[in-house]
Amino acid sequence: MNEKLYAGLDAAYPEMVEIRRHLHMNPEPSFHETKTAQYIRQYYEKLGVEVEHGVGGNGVVARIQGAKPGKTVALRADFDALPIQDQKENVPYKSTVEGVMHACGHDGHTATLLVLGKTLHNMRNELEGTYVVIHQHAEELVPGGAKSMIEAGVLEGVDVIFGTHLWSTTPFGRIDLRVGPIMAAADSFELTVQGRGGHGASPHETIDAVVIGSQIVSNLQPLVSRRVDPLESAVLSVGSFVAQNPFNIIADQAVLSGTVRSFKEDVRSLMETEMERVIEGTSMANNSRYEFNFKRGYPPVINHEKETHYVKGIAQTVPGVAEVYDCPPQMGGEDFAYYLEEIPGTFFFTGAMPDGDVYPHHHPKFDFKEEAMLLAAKTLGAAALNFHK
């Protein structure tokens, strides 16, 4: 059965590339992916596959029923783009939408799953069980699309779920996975420091929001090294500090924002509590006021042990996979976490490092090796087919 799956995917690889490039040229940002959702829906309708659209927002779900009884396996791919200007050069598939591009590989995820869905549909008379093909909107922007799709019932009756992410900084031919936490909780924060402005020549008459904000940034940095157990992991990054004024005016207000990443709930709560304690103390010492908002994003992606070992074994047999690597966890976030909170499953990385220059995800020149889509499809497909045994 695997050989027939692989042969079908090999034959359809040019279509996979064509779909990916079409989507790359026509990206849509999170929660605005109406044309992309329509494209996905129409693809399945032309095949005669049962498909539901508008699931939890812009989500699309196809269901492929095998001729024989068996378990229900879900496969998921995301399809939203990012508000980034495409700066790639010398490629025929550069984004045609100003200020929007697929800078994270979701176009490749969608092409992978569409062609895999088609291949499974063509094999339906030989298949066992049911295959729920989840095309999810809005992974890039909290609250994301996974939670609303789950609330709409996409996991009802599903026994297991598998997903992958094409990873541009991992060598092509390698599958990365691990039991337990593989991606971090992705939280964000915004802080407004309220002082009292004035003339730059009379600082003694002001409460300088820039100085206080700078102190807060410095005071927050030791939290990870001095408050978090050194055997645990956390990241605190201030990404924006805005206090716009003429050169000779002392700012009355500064707005700071950033992100916090962690893997465990107790560390997550500790960071939130300790951040506000530091901010409050620094503000009190400077006679200023503040407003602090800590926004919880996606929970950590926690892979289930049995299903991860299962996919590891499958990946080792997939043609073209040169290495299966037990990778360390990484601090990126993913709302696939919500699926794994509900049912067993696993999420893995498919190495997609391009030839030539390599750019990380969310970079304006991001790209990936398109052949990685074929390895992703074969690994997901084999995991789905063999789960019934």
Q: Is 126 among the residues known to form the active site? A: no
- The amino acid sitting at 349 is F
Residues near 265 by beta carbon (within 8 Å), at least 6 away in sequence: none
CA distance 373 to 115: 10
Q: Is 80 among the residues known to form the active site? A: yes
Q: Judging by DSSP bridges, how do beta strands 59-65 and 345-351 pair with one another?
A: unpaired
Q: Which two tokens stand for residue 222?
A: 């030791």
Q: Which two tokens stand for residue 294?
A: 């800590």
Question: Which residue in 80, 140, 252, 370 is the catalytic one?
Answer: 80
> Angle, to 10 degrees, between the axis of helix 265-285 and the axis of helix 209-220?
150
Question: Which residue in 33, 139, 159, 272 is the catalytic one?
Answer: 139
Residues known to be catalytic: 80, 139
